[in-house]
Structure 1
Amino acid sequence: MKKLYTKYIDSFRGLSTEVWWLSLITLVNRTGTMVIPFLSLYLTEDQGLSLSQVGIIMSCFGLGSVVGSWLGGKLTDAIGYYKVMWGSLFFSGILFIALQYIDGFAGLCLGVFSLLVVADTFRPATFVALSAYSKPENRTRSVSLIRMAINLGFSAGPALAGIIIETSGYSSLFWIDGGSCIAAAFLLMLFLHPKKAKATETYINPNPKSVYTDLPYWVFFAAMALFAFCFVQYFSTVPLYYHQDRDLSEFTIGILLGMSGFLIFVFEMPLVKYLEKWTWTKTSHVMTGFALTAFSFLVLNLGGWIGMVAIGLILMAFGEMIAFPFSNAFAMDRANRGKQGEYMALYTISFSLAHVFAHNFGTWSADKFGWFTTWNIITGVCIIAFLLLLWLQHLLNSEKTQKSVSP
């Protein structure tokens, strides 16, 4: 037991102080974002909207994320990651609080879109900050530490949210969300202000290549967009499935979502450290994560036993904790070819696009064809994403061969 504990602690060694502070700020921020997994339920039950209207609002969520991610990349390259991160945290906190006072379908579309434009400028800026604060050999584990903070927040958040909804309603969630974002902004100012924080590495390519001419990165982008299309179902369509088909309460749904976050919190860092010792490429690890996620949807159709829900979440959790750190590390490594903000913006946009189409498709498909067909379709999309990564691996091998033979 002592040996296992020692190995677990060793998986955290070597990370910079700034990465730890960035993780704490992320934890404070994400603990409060408990309304997000329940947004589809809030819109249907509290606001009385139809499934098709919810799908459109969630598409506005995705469009705002696309615009915010693109804008965040541009601003990061122009004014630096710190200013972008602080502004995003502070002003998204204000918008979170304001969102609860918006009624009506059109107003909610505009409110959710505006919130995500501001909130998601944070994402590419964070990745560039993480690259600056991490040594190259520690990047994958640094990403895992940030994800651990995110999942610890999501582990506590949904469980607490289920209790709050049943005791005092949805309004309190918006106040907590907004307050946590503002608190995270002030933590950033106190501990990661440029005058106090020291970057361990700042790399600026003197001859940057445009991300828009990087074919392998675009294949990677397409694969991640399709994977995200599947993954984000766990934040909208899957909770509805739990509630409508499995007849689970908000409290039980919160516990289930919290369980997946807890698994990631416990296992991701040692798992990533263990996998880094393998001779596999980063893309090979990402493919493993894609395969596990595909199975997480497939098992939902393998019978009515409620345990299948838990098995699906466990498979998803392990797929996520493998796919995301290694895909993120691949993107940061590739970003050294050009402007880092531009590259990392495209990486985050791959997930933002999923929010545009995935939620709307998931709710539409469930309403039109039922849950069984919907989960089969999602599984098929995961398989296509897996095949795209095989193509990416071929392109990277060809690229490596051309470099080795060039004079």
Structure 2
Amino acid sequence: MQWTGMLANRLGTFVQPFLALYLTVARGLTIAQAGVILVIYGVGSLIGPLLGGLLADHLNRRVALGGSMVVSAATLMALGAASTTPTIAITAFAAGMAADLYRPASGALIADIVPVSQRARAYGLLFWANNLGFAVGAMAGGWLAERGYGLLFVLDAATCLVFGALIFFATKTNTRPKPAAHEPAVGYRTALRDPLLLGMLGLTALYATIYTQADVTLPLTMHGAGLSAASYGIALAVNGVLIVVLQPFATAWLSRFNQMRVQAASGALLGVGFGLTALAHSQWAFVGSVVVWTIGELGTAGFAQSLIADLAPTTAQGRYQALFNLSRSSAYILAPAAGTTALSVFGPAGPWIGCLVSGLVLAAGYLVLARPVLHRRAAATRTTAAIA
């Protein structure tokens, strides 16, 4: 049911990819004002996973997951109804917080019921459902945006409610975390004293900041090149289609290799792909750059989240997943701030040159952490197997 609910929800994920265009085109805000609103949305997204992690570890997973989708639907409708800059800012904060509230419970639920050896595949399947829905939703979103941005908010909220209903009424799993024998209590402060975890979270934040330029700076760059919202939707749909077609095969093949080295190569490809956007001026040139960074994205599907789950103590799965999602959500602040600033100061090529450099830094970081991360994961896996 979680897979089905995720698919339904992502089919209607219209607001986030088109939020920058909505703010500048429909609400008439400047690029700088839109950047501030997007940063405020990002601040909310930082709080959401932390709250969601606590809920996931203290409530049963079904209540935490289903309830968060109801909250998300309500905040999306409020954001769509807001018309003044202050109310847009307030509701953007609430919508950002609600958008990622469900993720820790979702990730922890998989860790509860899926064996360690199958976790990467399970997270990969969720990633696949995410992108299957996104492939359709992105194209439909561009078409809907040209007929009125209000439709984006209504339909996005409706699919959140569908996801919540599936979890509440069609999911029998009702797990709560049970500590293993002699397992110490672990909270956020304990986890944040782990330098290896902090390194991984930092790399995840950098990866997400590069990737989120597809939502923030890419639509503005394509609009500046004279292309429509529908053209942007097509470019994003190409990303989703490639993930849907290639990701199941890529996950099976890439799982045979050193995962940190795979992520290093993926980070480099991500940076090169986004860097190529600086040279794009036509629809097909933009699509070509999307193809390159999508290939880089394939190397991350399911593996990073699985690693975090393998390292987490039983009673802190929700909080470890929260920190992982927090590092990704930080991109909602970092990406708008960096992308719109680079676009305003350095022109259309500025953000994309920055992405190229950041991708190379990302690759180097994964290589530096490769050995200690894999050693830690192996030790944690042996401990889990002994307990089982």
TM-score normalized by structure 2?
0.91
Tell whether 2:155 aligns with 1:155.
Answer: no
Aligned residues with identical type, % of pairs: 27
Q: CA deviation at 1:316?
A: 1.7
Q: Any residues of structure 2 matched to 1:386-401 within 5 Å, and which?
A: 386-396=363-373
Moved more, 316-325 or 267-276: 316-325
Q: What does 1:4-403 correspond to in 2, within 5 Å?
A: 21-167=1-147, 169-192=148-171, 196-197=172-173, 204-205=179-180, 206-209=183-186, 210-245=190-225, 247-276=226-255, 278=256, 280-302=257-279, 304=281, 306-336=283-313, 339-396=316-373
- What is the Cα deviation at residue 95 of structure 1? 1.8
| More deviation, 284-293/346-355 | 284-293
* Contact in 2 for aligned 1:222/1:385 (Cα 8 Å): no
- The one-letter amino acid of 1:297's match is F
Deviates more, 1:90-99 or 1:21-30: 90-99
Secondary structure of 2:263 counterpart: helix
Residue 345 of structure 1, CA deviation: 0.8
**What's the CA shift string for 1:22-62, capped at 9, x where partnerless?**
11100111111112111100000000001111111111111
1:154/1:350 CA distance change after superposition, 3 Å = same
CA RMSD of aligned residues (A): 2.2
8 Å CA contact 2:271, 2:360 repeated in 1: yes
The answer to whether the Cα contact below 8 Å between 1:29 and 1:184 also exists between their aligned partners in 2 is yes
CA distance in 1, matches of 2:204, 2:67: 27
C-alpha change, 1:366 and 1:188, in structure 2 (3 Å) is same
Separation of aligned partners in 2, 1:250 and 1:184:
27
Give, in whole Å, the separation in 2 of the partners of 1:80 and 1:391: 38
Note closer, same or farther for the CA distance 1:91–1:269 as it changes in structure 2 (3 Å cut): same
Q: Deviation string for 1:309-345 (max 9, x for gaps)?
A: 1221112212112124211111111123771112111
Distance 1:253 1:395, change over 3 A: same
SS of 2:327's equivalent in the other structure is helix
The CA deviation string for residues 322-375 of structure 1, in whole angstroms up to 9 with x for no partner, is 124211111111123771112111100111111112112201210111122221
CA contact (8 A) 1:148 1:264 kept: yes
Going from structure 1 to structure 2, the CA distance change for 1:338 and 1:172 (only over 3 Å counts) comes to: same
The question of whether the paired residues in 2 share the 8 Å contact of 1:62 and 1:353 is answered with yes
Change in Cα spacing, 1:152 to 1:399, as seen in structure 2 (3 Å) is closer
Normalized against structure 1, the TM-score is what? 0.87
C-alpha distance in 2, partners of 1:177/1:26? Answer: 12
**Structure 1: 5+ residue runs without aligned partners?**
1-20
Is the 8 Å Cα contact of residues 133 and 198 (structure 1) preserved in structure 2?
no
Partners of 1:128 and 1:321 in 2: CA distance = 22
Question: C-alpha separation between the residues in 2 aligned to 1:129 and 1:380?
Answer: 36
In structure 1, how many angstroms separate the alpha carbons of the residues matched to 2:251 and 2:376?
Answer: 26
Structure 2: give runs of 5+ residues left out of the alignment. 381-388
